[in-house]
Amino acid sequence: MIRYGFRVILVIILVALLLRACLVKDVPPKTGTTKSGLTDIVNIDYPLPKNVTINGVDYLQSQAPVGTFGGELISSTIGEGPKTFNPFNCKDNTSQIMSSIMYDGLLTSDPVSGQPVPKLAKSFSISPDGKTYTINLRHGVKWSDGKPITADDVVFTWRDIIFAGLGDTSTRDSLVIDDKLPQVRKIDNYTVEFTTPKPYAPFIRMLSTPIAPKHVFAPAAKKSAAYFDTFMGTTTKPEDFVISGAFKIKEYIPAQRVVYVRNPNYYEINTKDQKLPYLDKLIYLIVGDLNNEVLKFEAKELDVISLQGSKVARYKSVEPHSDFKLYNLGPNTGTMYLSMNLNNRKDPKGKYYVDPIKQKWFQNENFRRAVDYSVDRKNMVLNIANGIGAPLFTPESLNSIFLNKNLKPYDKNLNKSRELLKKSGFYTDKKGKLYDKEGNRVEFDLYTNAGNTEREAIGIMVKQDLEDLGMKVNFKPIEFNSLVNKLVSTFDWDMVIMGLTGSPLEPNGGKNVWLSDGRLHMFNMRTPSEGKAKILPWEKELDEMFTKGALATKFEDRKKYYDRYQEIVYSEKPFIYIYSPVIIVAIRTKFKNIYPSPLNGITHNIEEIYIGE
């Protein structure tokens, strides 16, 4: 049954992607004039690698043109840099990117269709009842230290790290089905079997989770959870890393750079049977903020950059005479939002996490909607994204196959905001200052992460929009990790502008955000001991929608539940979505085998990229 449902989903994915991004060969590119003159969403004709067996080793064989070996690609990351290189303990996007370079999963995603395809696995199958997944590993594939990658590594990773709740438990929490976890067992040295309590549609994509070398991670897993949280951190010696990915860390200098070198034991080869990757080095410069990133690209210190909308027109004008090429990857797969802290509970010492006066405002449905109607999304798209983007109103990105298109957009409407505030007893004095019905001046702090100039610009505009209603807004950009600590640990914040990564193919990845006891349920975060205590009625319904959506196996049935979750968020406003920028990437023309993907980005096939003439 699940096989049929899975095929249906894949067909719909392909059709949806054809309509949205024109990704398939021989389909004319989607066109539409933007302010920058950038018209095409990239066409991709990526030749997927194939399985080949040579002298008993099951390689992946690249089908891309054969390149030349050597050279380096320099990319960047904003902020303070990675906090860990442990792929099972990443709580921020930078750390996740840095660790994922070194550790592969059993499966990955086809950059065209999004279909799960083998990676460390040679093949996989799903039983007719949709509950058993059989994974056949590649024979002869090795870790970077020369030891074989076997079923023992897979079982250890899932049983002793993920299911045991070590590190970041997001993956584990996403797999709980009727309070039960899947089972994993070794069939033989190269065969592993997973069994879920019920057919569970998102599980197949979870198999892209990195696999750990048991002989390296087992000693740490046997110690305390606190010890595991520090394991393979940023102070670990580069020679201590044992990896399966295309590149291994060579050097990390805090606040400056992370340098990776090619893994000579990587299991992908070209059609001449030469081991990939082609590049000798992959370097990430830690640039601090977006403006510094642009300066470094223009100084030719970076080879690739994702551009803000305000920069695109100028880059487009000089592109014909430059050494770079621009690619339009379509709408961002993540979401950007404004949120209020709805937490009305006390800490263990009896102190409210949030000022009770402010809490009454944030808990008030009319107040949240008034804030929503005050946000000038169109003006933000025009002035911050330079017209390269679109207003966003739902938790699903604009290119999601699960997007609820029945949720209609609307414009800024301060009169509507004032009506809503008045309904709940708010009023303004002669000077236009806003007060609640008890006479308290409406004043609060608005946070975002410093260095992200796009979010800082949004914050300035949100501050002005809200002050037009008479509110006093103290805008406070702060260091990213300090902000995350406020959101998920201390809960001491009022409003925040943030973003979440996402998948246009699978809403269940957001389960930890939307479940009432989720680790990223930021707008009403609970301590682990609270669980689902004191949940709001609409939070309870969100729990139900995500549970039912994951257990449904047909696309049409799943979409019904995910449509409803979007309706709840659209109505209750725990997150107020802002806009969806278009992803515009520039990369030096010297790099070849570039197959940009709206799903996977510009360097998803980093092992195949080489420097040519």
The CATH number of the domain holding residue 71 is: 3.90.76.10
Please indicate, yes or no, if residue 305 is contained in any of the structural domains.
no
Question: In DSSP terms, which residues pair with 584 in a beta bridge?
Answer: 307, 328
- The CATH number given to whatever domain includes residue 471 is 3.10.105.10
Question: What are the mean pLDDT values of the chain's consecutive 10-residue runs (613 residues total)?
Answer: 29 29 27 41 83 97 98 93 93 89 96 92 96 97 97 98 92 87 97 96 94 98 94 96 98 96 97 98 93 94 92 92 94 93 88 93 97 97 91 93 95 97 97 97 96 92 97 95 90 95 87 90 87 86 94 92 97 96 94 93 96 91
Tell me what pLDDT residue 41 has: 62
Please indicate, yes or no, if residue 444 is contained in any of the structural domains.
yes
Please indicate, yes or no, if residue 524 is contained in any of the structural domains.
no
Rounded to whole angstroms, how far apart are CA atoms 61 and 270?
5
Domain around 222: 2-232+589-611
- Are 19 and 156 in a shared domain? yes
Rounded to whole angstroms, how far apart are CA atoms 444 and 462?
13
Rounded to whole angstroms, how far apart are CA atoms 253 and 237?
12
Sign of CA dihedral 167, 484, 543, 116: negative
Please indicate, yes or no, if residue 545 is contained in any of the structural domains.
no
Rounded to whole angstroms, how far apart are CA atoms 88 and 80?
20
Sign of CA dihedral 230, 235, 240, 244: positive
- Are 483 and 604 in a shared domain? no
Tell me what pLDDT residue 36 has: 40
- Would you call 612 helix, strand, or coil by DSSP? coil
Tell me what pLDDT residue 333 has: 87
Quickly tell me which residue has 């979870």 as its tokens. 206
Picking from 60, 202, 41, the residue whose alpha carbon sits closest to that of residue 548 is 202
Tell me what pLDDT residue 100 has: 93
What pLDDT, in 10s, does the model give residues 213-232? 999 999 999 999 999 999 99
Q: Residue type at 521?
A: H
Cβ atoms within 10 Å, residue 458 = 23
Whether the Cβ atoms of residue 154 and residue 74 lie closer than 8 Å to each other:
no
Please indicate, yes or no, if residue 52 is contained in any of the structural domains.
yes
- Are 11 and 111 in a shared domain? yes
Number of separate domains in the chain: 2
Q: Are strands 575-577 and 389-391 parallel, antiparallel or unpaired?
A: unpaired
Please indicate, yes or no, if residue 387 is contained in any of the structural domains.
yes
Whether the Cβ atoms of residue 497 and residue 337 lie closer than 8 Å to each other:
yes
- Would you call 45 helix, strand, or coil by DSSP? coil
Tell me what pLDDT residue 526 has: 87
Rounded to whole angstroms, how far apart are CA atoms 278 and 274?
9
Question: In DSSP terms, which residues pair with 410 in a beta bridge?
Answer: none
Q: What single-letter DSSP state applies at residue 334? A: S
- Are 155 and 18 in a shared domain? yes
Please indicate, yes or no, if residue 532 is contained in any of the structural domains.
no
Please indicate, yes or no, if residue 307 is contained in any of the structural domains.
no
Picking from 562, 567, 525, the residue whose alpha carbon sits closest to that of residue 547 is 562
Rounded to whole angstroms, how far apart are CA atoms 25 and 519?
41
Burial class (CB in 10 A: 0-12, 13-18, 19+), 365: middle
Tell me what pLDDT residue 350 has: 87
What pLDDT, in 10s, does the model give residues 512-527? 899 998 888 999 998 8
- Are 150 and 36 in a shared domain? yes
Terminal CA-CA length for the chain: 51
